[in-house]
Amino acid sequence: MEIAGSNPARVTPILRLKRPRNGVTEYATANQFMWLERTAQRAVDEGLLPRAEVDGWPSALWAADGAGRFFGALEGFRVSGRKP
């Protein structure tokens, strides 16, 4: 794969969060790293989502956390190559 003049380029998917091995099962931790509530508020502020749709979302995630049913993961990609 050629990206921005480097050849060959290598794209590696990565999954990063601490618990369990490839994810997170605590809502507070996920909210801290993924900015879930902050992003929801921003969507409301920018008119992308109605307040009524967003209001119940954090409490539903806290409830899932309390019942042991919350899971979140954050995926990214590392791209590397050598400039000719």
How do residues 41-67 score in pLDDT, each as one tens digit?
A: 999 999 999 999 899 888 999 999 999
pLDDT for the residue 16: 59
pLDDT for the residue 15: 64
Q: What is the DSSP letter of 80?
A: E
Residue 32, classed as helix, strand or coil, is: helix
Greater pLDDT, 29 or 2: 29
pTM of the entire predicted model:
0.61
CA distance 50 to 79: 37
pLDDT for the residue 33: 83
